[in-house]
Chains A and B, each alone.
Chain A
């Protein structure tokens, strides 16, 4: 963890104050920062869909296996537990949790993860999602690292609220649904690009991000144009 990287998180947080703030891109960069700053192998963010399930909204890599591992946690795994209790969930050695979360542990082990942590995204008394951290090494995170991790989860919540404030939406509920649907549009666009350019999903995502940055558009807006056919990448 370097101070410079930590400082960059603050700079990126200030990005949320601009008009054309791109929430999905922000959350993606945040998960990448989690990997750098917390010294873990992978990170993902899940949000409540407000009808009883958690959905993936960002991940440090767009490798399909990681996305599926995150999505498995619709109702089984550290994230749903963290979401329902509102408290961090730490598993220092996944092999001990096969009875508790059979499918999740099987999928995580297959990728090579040995430990996992889930930190709640909180807004006052409400829990709106969870930050999921994975490591290929077993063991706990240091208390300082957990504290920093929680701060990064809180930064994600702030980003979501900023998106709401900028668009003058009435409620957090509206913003959550928009964020989740934006994510779906991006997945559809990844498919279009993957097929057209013969790329894998991770490469397709990077192409989308680069194009969005170069044309100064939100990831979700560009993605919608790609799926609609009004934009060919």
Chain B
């Protein structure tokens, strides 16, 4: 996200976390206020086929998350399959009843007129989904979409940090760790290389890369470039995981 937007998003999150370590619930609350929706929920991938709801801001959001988990259909489910957001601005329009025959009427009964499912993903790394709903129907305006996507990016960051076992930060340090160079191609390429080097999954590889960059106080893309240009390798040690710098045969 652009610098200005990043500042604004984190300021909104800080207003929710109020000096406490930032949680996904704080980001959801900030997203509701910031984007101008009525509720939000996050479901994460707890395993390759297992999903579990992390948080929901209110009973309707909770209900929507549960519906998708039990029915196995809905915008949230589709985001995993399609690799992109599903923006259902008007659940009453006929296409949605055809697409989700059980979810749509149930969601309308709960009181949701529009549901926006934003995947929490970095390429092939699928962390979960952020669902936003509105009582009234209507799509997200371009600025609302921009903020929604940015809040989703923020949730992704938190989930990655949690999966890496990093202690949760308060808003200011968390914001400083939000490295915009994470979008550079070298970072994704390095992730692919590291997953082979460590023999682990892509999310673990990315988490290790981020942890190394943070510990070394360097930009993600600079560390990634070292990996891609083969100046830095991540090798598992017999006794556990570690990394070694320098040339390798």
Q: Which residues of A contact B (CB under 8 A)?
A: 49-53, 55-56, 64, 67-68, 71, 74-75, 167, 169-171, 173-175, 177-178, 181-182, 184-196, 201, 220, 223-224, 227-229
Binary A-proximity of B70-100 (CB < 8 A = 1, otherwise 0): 0000000000001111111100000100000
Known: A170-B88, A174-B85. A187 touches B124 (CB 8 A): no
Q: Given A56-B185, A64-B185, A181-B123, A50–B146 Cβ distance below 8 Å?
A: yes
List B contacts of A195 (CB < 8 A). 192-193, 196-197
- Kindly state the separation between the CA atoms of A95 and B140 in the bound complex, as whole angstroms: 42
Task: State the total of A-B contacts with C-beta under 8 angstroms.
Answer: 135
Q: Do A201 and B123 have beta carbons less than 8 Å apart? A: no
Q: Which residues of A contact B211 (CB under 8 A)?
A: none
Asked if A171 and B123 sit within 8 Å, CB to CB, the answer is: no
Is the C-beta of B122 less than 8 angstroms from some C-beta in chain A?
yes
Q: Complex: how many Å from CA A167 to CA B124?
A: 19
The answer to whether B192 and A188 touch across the interface, beta carbons within 8 angstroms, is: yes
Q: CB of B21 within 8 A of chain A?
A: no
Tell me the complex Cα distance, A174–B84, Å.
6
Q: Which residues of B contact A190 (CB under 8 A)?
A: 189, 192
Once the chains bind, are A227 and B124 in contact (CB under 8 Å)?
yes
Closest 6 CB pairs of A and B: A191-B192, A52-B2, A178-B84, A184-B123, A187-B188, A227-B124
Q: Which residues of A contact B122 (CB under 8 A)?
A: 184
Q: Given the complex, which residues of A lie within 8 Å of B194, measured CB to CB? A: 191
A224 CA to B124 CA in the complex, in Å? 6
Contact A53/B1 with A171-B139, A178-B82 known, Cβ cut-off 8 Å: yes
The distance in angstroms between the C-alpha atoms of A51 and B122, with both chains bound, is 16
Question: Least Cβ distance of B28 to chain A in Å?
Answer: 18
Q: Which residue of B lies closest to A200 (CB)?
A: B228
Pick from B142, B188, B189, B228: contact of A50, CB below 8 A.
B142
Chain B residues with Cβ below 8 Å from A167 are: 82
Q: How far is the CB of B138 from chain A (nearest CB, A)?
A: 13
Among A51, A74, A191, A193, which residue has its beta carbon within 8 angstroms of that of B188? A191
A223 (CB) vs chain B CBs: closest residue: B124
Q: Which residues of chain B from 178 to 207 have a CB within 8 Å of any chain A CB? A: 180, 183-186, 188-197, 201-202
Q: Quick one: closest A residue to B90, CB to CB?
A: A170
Please determine whether B123 and A188 come into contact, CB atoms closer than 8 angstroms: yes
For the complex formed, measure the closest distance between the CB of A21 and the CB atoms of chain B, giving whole angstroms: 15
For the complex, give the distance between the alpha carbons of A191 and B122 in Å. Answer: 14
Q: Knowing A191-B228, A201-B189, say if A171 contacts B183 (CB, 8 Å).
A: no
Chain B residues with CB under 8 Å of chain A are: 1-5, 82-89, 95, 119, 121-125, 139-140, 142, 145-147, 149-150, 153, 180, 183-186, 188-197, 201-202, 228
A201: which B residues are within 8 A, CB to CB? 189, 228
CB distance from A74 to the nearest CB of B (A): 7
- Within the complex, what minimum Cβ distance (angstroms) separates A145 from chain B? 28
Q: Please give, as numbers and ranges, the residues of chain B lying within 8 Å of A185 by CB-CB distance.
A: 83, 123-124
Report the separation of the CA atoms of residues A47 and B150 in the bound assembly, to the nearest whole angstrom. Answer: 16
> Chain A contacts of B4 at CB under 8 A?
52
B209 to chain A, nearest CB (A): 11
How far, in whole Å, are A188 and B122 apart by their CA atoms in the complex?
9
Q: Which of A187, A194, A220, A229 has the largest count of B CB atoms less than 10 A from its CB?
A: A187
Inter-chain contact A188/B84, CB cutoff 8 Å: no
Given A191-B193, A192-B193, decide whether A228 and B82 contact each other with a Cβ distance below 8 A: no
Which among A75, A167, A184 has the greatest number of chain B C-beta atoms within 10 A?
A184
Complex partner residue of A174 from B87, B123, B190, B202, CB under 8 angstroms: B87
Q: Are B185 and A177 in contact (CB under 8 A)?
A: no
User: Which chain B positions have C-beta within 8 A of A68?
Assistant: 184-186
Do B192 and A189 touch across chains, with their CB atoms under 8 A apart? Answer: yes
- 20 extra interface residue pairs, beta carbon distance < 8 Å, beyond A49-B1, A170-B88: A49-B149, A50-B145, A52-B1, A52-B4, A52-B146, A53-B2, A68-B185, A68-B186, A170-B95, A171-B139, A173-B140, A178-B83, A181-B83, A181-B121, A187-B185, A188-B123, A191-B192, A191-B195, A193-B192, A196-B196
Give the shortest distance, in Å, between A17 (CB) and chain B (any CB).
20
* C-alpha spacing A227/B200, complex, angstroms: 10
CA distance A201 to B124 in the complex (A): 18
In the bound complex, CA of A49 to CA of B193 (Å): 25
Neighbouring B residues of A55 by C-beta, 8 Å: 183
The 8 Å CB contact of B202, one of A64, A175, A178, A227, is A227
